[in-house]
Amino acid sequence: QSALTQPPSASGSPGQSVTISCTGTSSDIGGYNYVSWYQQHPGKAPKLMIYEVSKRPSGVPDRFSGSKSGNTASLIVSGLQAEDETDYYCSSYAGSNNLIFGGGTKLTVL
């Protein structure tokens, strides 16, 4: 199973919105509504931000939202803040009892 495809980098100015894409296939993202997004600061463990495409765990700011269209999922970060600058990873159920992650996107707040 190949990794999901994420852009290596994304950027936006404080207060703006930025969208990070995660592209898979009809066998993973396109076939199931089980996409998650994780935020990972350098040297730290990942933090769950979005699960099941668009659901937010308690404690995650509503500036973070998720969506999916076809084989591509998206993480939208609105009202960008300096603390949002870090790495983001998507994951998806891929059928046959497999989970796959994306390669990660480094978000820069300009």
Residues that bind other proteins (CB under 8 A): 1, 3, 32, 34, 36, 38, 40, 45-48, 51-52, 55, 57, 89, 91, 93, 95, 97-104
Cβ 97 to other proteins shortest distance, Å:
4
- Min dist CB 8 to other proteins, Å, is 11
Eight-state DSSP code of residue 8: S
Closer residue to other proteins, CB minimum distance, 13 or 74: 74
80 DSSP assignment: -
Q: Which is nearer to other proteins, 16 or 41 (CB)?
A: 41
- The distance of closest approach from Cβ of residue 32 to other proteins in the complex, given in angstroms and rounded to an integer, is 7
Give the Cα separation of 27 and 9 in Å (integer): 25
Which CB sits closer to other proteins, 47 or 63? Answer: 47
User: Which CB atom, from 45 or from 110, has the smaller least distance to other proteins?
Assistant: 45
Q: How far apart are CA 103 and CA 89, in angstroms?
A: 7
Contact 64, 49 (CB under 8 A): yes
From CA 65, how far away is CA 105, in angstroms rounded? 16
72 contacts 20 by C-beta, under 8 angstroms: no
